[in-house]
Amino acid sequence: MAREGRRAVPGQGALPLGGDGPRIEVRRSGRRRKTVSAFWEGSTAVVAIPATFTRAQEAHWVERMVERLQQDTARRRGAHSDEALAERAAGLSRRYFGGRTEPASIRWVTNQRRRWGSCTPSQRTIRLSHELQGMPEWVVDYVIVHELAHLLVSGHGPQFWKLVEAYPRLAEAKAFLAGVAFAGSQRGDAGDAEGSGWDLIDDEEDA
């Protein structure tokens, strides 16, 4: 069985297309025929190529794959920016509330350890827990819609839920978050000393 070779790109730690890139490691595999892949191992960009590639082919694919890897990373970071979140909330407001619920601000926060989202209607501000990042988009959209509805109706009465029920995956999203909350309570994550876990969305701060 052929062993996979591992080596750093010449000038270890230097990116061939510039000096400010990540450290790159090229892995040659006898099992690969045509496919090339790239992924992160910590801060190192690993590019896996067929063992039969020439140095010219290697240089071409390393440059191409590292560039793609960096673009994908930048795109993922951008998707979790407050600016992207504001655009997302504006779109959901237009879709489900006719644009009546666009907040003054909506942002990710890291200090909400017991709530998925919170809303201050008097200031028209919304905060979402960073724990939502990485969850399915339709779950995050539900939390946003839930908080947007509080800009029209305080509390969680029938009028409030009539608004939120416009979201088609309401039941599915609530069940998903309930499962995450239950799993967290079993581990004692993000809860109090008794490990009570997450409140689902107990959210208004000035209602």
For the stretch 81-114, pLDDT in tens is: 888 899 999 999 999 999 999 899 999 998 887 7
Q: Which structural domain range is residue 135 located in?
A: 82-187
Residues 169 and 90 in one domain: yes
Low-confidence ranges of the chain (pLDDT < 70): 1-21, 74-79, 184, 186-207
Residues 94 and 123 in one domain: yes
Asked whether residue 206 is assigned to any structural domain, the reply reads: no
87's tokens: 């655009």
Asked whether residue 202 is assigned to any structural domain, the reply reads: no
The 8-class DSSP code of residue 204 comes to: B
194's tokens: 């008794």
Residues 93 and 177 in one domain: yes
165's tokens: 């029920």
| Domain at 124, CATH number | 3.30.2010.10
Q: How many angstroms separate the CA atoms of 177 and 139, rounded?
A: 8
Asked whether residue 139 is assigned to any structural domain, the reply reads: yes
Asked whether residue 127 is assigned to any structural domain, the reply reads: yes
Residues 93 and 181 in one domain: yes
Residues 87 and 170 in one domain: yes
